[in-house]
Amino acid sequence: MAGSSSSPSISTQLDVLAALVEQFDSINLKTRSLPKFVMECKRQNSTAFTIKIDITKSLVAYPNPISEETRIPPAMAVAELLEAADMFDFISADETPLSLTPPQRQLRDILLKHAWTTLYCGSSNGGAGRLVQGCKGVAKTTTFMMVQGILSTLLPNENLVFFASLRAQSNVFETFAKAYAQRRRLDEAPLWQSFEDIKAVCGSRNKFLAYVDEYHVTYTRDDQWRETACTVGQSAAFGAFALTGDVPYLRALAFGKASVEDVKENFPFYTTTPNLNDTRYTVVEMEPCTTRETVQELATILGVSSAAELCGYSGVGWLNFLAMMTGGLTCHMAQVAKDVRQHCSTLRCRFMDRLRDETFRRELVEVAEKAGELGPVLQLANSGNWLDLPLQDQVNQLREMPSSLTAALDAVPELDIDLDTKLSDVDKHLGNPDYASLLQDLGHELLNKTGEGEVNALVKDPFALMTKVDAANLLTKYGARMLYGASDSGAIRYDGTNISFGTPLLAQRMLDHDGALPREAPDTRGCDAVWFTVNGSELTVHRCQVKLGYNSGNPVAPSKVREWSKLLVGHTARRGAIPFDNEARLAFEKTLRKTSNNDDISVRVHCYLIMTRPLASPANLAQELKEELSTAHLTFDLWHHEKCLSDLWPREVQAWAKQNDLKAYYRPE
């Protein structure tokens, strides 16, 4: 029977062959390497791979996928996804090209790996979600939008991929619906009112990826973002969230570890439940650039290096200056880039104005001819479009004629860098009493690691100032909650094991004792802080004990106030003007060295007892204690609840108080 069966006709064989070829092509398209597939698509449609980043937009669910039919193969290695991501170009809203900085590249790769495991592995290593923590200005929002743009392009539109800012998007289900309509190019968004509506269109093959900015805003209002984020975090069955925000205590808010009393004024809808669960949402730290290599790369990416070279700024000193002024933050480096470009523009305009002068051109040609540089100088002198050349080409041309350039740029204006933002950040941290002691202790830890004798060299090296030290001692003293809070504020950097100052400027200020309040050792009991003032040949040591707290129904008895006052003055009388511990003594000696004719200087001590609780009978107690305890070389003052504290606090504390409208700590205008 087998031998008698007839063979298929030629036409049938051709049909089968054609079907096999068609199937093979389809399989080949699905299994070819993603980078090659992206490169082919990019050649056909380059616009899909240039993504505009507009951080003013509160909801983004585009561009469209590069292929509606072809699903990227789940078996593809993550490395291929990262390689394909490198083929994308980004521009800002004003069409300026954007390049990934080192911290952005690191975060991009982490989020892409998280997306891949969520979509194709049924779960996500390290939990279903990501909570991205980083100080303001490190470019978290821009990176979120970049990742969203890459995945929106590479994934089919069945995968809902969107970016949302909670400052403008208050209704979680409405946000999902708008993003879904945008992604599917629908005329109207569906009416979704629960997570069940989301689950109806998102499943094992069509998971969603949501990149949510300003997540802390959910704690300021009554919405369902918190409950939804918790639900999503339990499983990657339907999709995943990546969350970020700018407040210092985002981590504590998200994981229910913040004190309700501490945050209820700014975040009235915060409670310790529900919380995201730190086993389901992994914290990802996005740090600024802290090494010479990454700061140099950041400066190059943002166009600082090329412009600076044109202005004559380069080398180790320039790199140190950039690190010190920017702290490795993208936003600060971008501001420096703007200042340098403005400076560069001034130089170029001046140069071109001189080139338009016929006499100067003749002089320039004569100088160039003697220097053997006539060719490039003539080309430049006769060119009217030099300013239209790319900046790097201008730099390259000018490098070819250094001696002639010296004659052309004989009056270089000073580079004017706007430092207000950077210095205000430092003042903010110095003026925060919550972290004052921590920062001082961190300064001691850094000196212990580098050596007390190296302090002069240390304060001049921004990269050394950001050296990480073992956090064990500070963790024992302050606890993880405070260290993470200070880290999230940008005052320090803490990764659970090591700790460093948040910016080199802040470290420099702390180590140099400028504006800091050196604390006395705890065993001195009678003093919380000490600082120094000089008036002519008189140096005054201000020693202060602060009694905080407020309870209008429980005023302090005069006998207790008298006991505290005598304790403070008694310790001072026994030890004299010289401070008790090493840190305060160093600051004292430094102040003496700064004072001229210190052989003839007289030293006084001014003791303050500061109380925020009301007194039982404040009328005459302050004056009585002043008269009783003051001597020829010691003055005592009681500053109580009823007396304005504005004259006492240093300028950093007053600046912080004004920022937070705490009128007890500054003199109102």
Residue 468, C-beta contacts closer than 8 angstroms, at least 6 positions apart: 493, 498, 499, 500
Largest CA distance in the chain: 129
Q: Comparing C-alpha atoms, which of 78, 305, 58, 81 is closest to residue 167?
A: 58
- Between CA 70 and CA 628 the distance in angstroms is 89
Cα gap 142→133, rounded to integer Å: 14
Q: CA 249 to CA 229: how far, in whole Å?
A: 18
Which 3 state secondary structure label does DSSP give 142?
Answer: helix
Question: Could you give the count of Cα atoms lying within 13 Å of 612 in the half-sphere of its Cβ?
Answer: 10
Q: What does the pLDDT read at residue 227? A: 92
Distance separating alpha carbons of residues 180 and 350, to the nearest angstrom: 54
> How far is the C-alpha of 594 from the C-alpha of 582, rounded, in Å?
18
Q: Angle 644-650-653 (CA atoms, 0-180°, nearest 5)?
A: 80
CB within 8 Å of 309: residues ≥ 6 apart? 395
Mean pLDDT of the chain: 75
Which pLDDT belongs to residue 405? 47
pLDDT for 396 equals: 59
Q: Which residues contact 137 (CB under 8 A, 6 or more apart)?
A: 329, 330, 331, 332
Cα 364 to Cα 285, 393, 413, distances in angstroms = 54, 20, 21
pLDDT digits (tens, 9 = 90+) for 138-193: 899 999 999 999 999 988 888 899 999 999 999 999 999 999 999 998 999 999 99
User: How confident is the chain (669 residues) per 10-residue block, as mean pLDDT?
Assistant: 46 56 43 73 77 91 74 64 90 86 94 88 69 88 95 88 95 95 92 91 84 94 92 86 87 86 85 83 89 89 75 73 83 80 67 66 66 57 56 56 46 48 62 75 83 65 87 89 82 86 82 47 51 75 71 69 79 55 60 60 80 68 86 82 52 62 54
* Residue entry with tokens 């030293």: 603
Angle at alpha carbon of residue 157, lines to 155 and 163, rounded to 5°:
80
Given its phi and psi angles, is residue 303 left (phi above 0), alpha (psi -120 to 50 degrees) or beta? left
Q: Which residues contact 505 (CB under 8 A, 6 or more apart)?
A: 324, 325, 327, 422, 423, 425, 426
- pTM flag (> 0.75): no
- Please state the three-class secondary structure of 474-515 as a single string: HHHHHHHHHHHHHHHHCCEEECCCEEEECCHHHHHHHHCCCC
Residue closest to 220 by CA, chosen among 292, 272, 166: 166
Q: What is residue 413's DSSP assignment?
A: P
Q: State the pLDDT at residue 516.
A: 40
- Please tell me the predicted confidence (pLDDT) of residue 404: 44
Of 131, 99, 137, 105, the C-alpha closest to 503 is: 137
**3-class SS string, 149-214:** HHHHHHCCCCCCEEEEECCCCCCHHHHHHHHHHHHHCCCCCCCCCCHHHHHHHCCCCCCEEEEEEC
Q: How much is the pLDDT for 512?
A: 60
Distance (Å, rounded) from C-alpha 95 to C-alpha 351?
28
pLDDT of residue 174: 95
Residue 2 vs residues 6, 7, 13, 179: alpha-carbon distances, Å: 9, 11, 19, 61
Q: What is the pLDDT of residue 75?
A: 52
Cis peptide before 63 (omega within 30 of 0): yes
Beta bridge partners of 256: none
Classify domain 35-285 at the CATH topology level: Rossmann fold (3.40.50)
Tokens 């990764």 belong to which residue?
495
DSSP, res 48: G
Closest CA to 640 of 540, 532, 545, 568: 545
Radius of gyration of the chain (CA): 33
Which one-letter amino acid corresponds to residue 233? G
pLDDT computed for residue 31 by the predictor: 47
- What stretch(es) of the chain map to CATH 3.40.50? 35-285
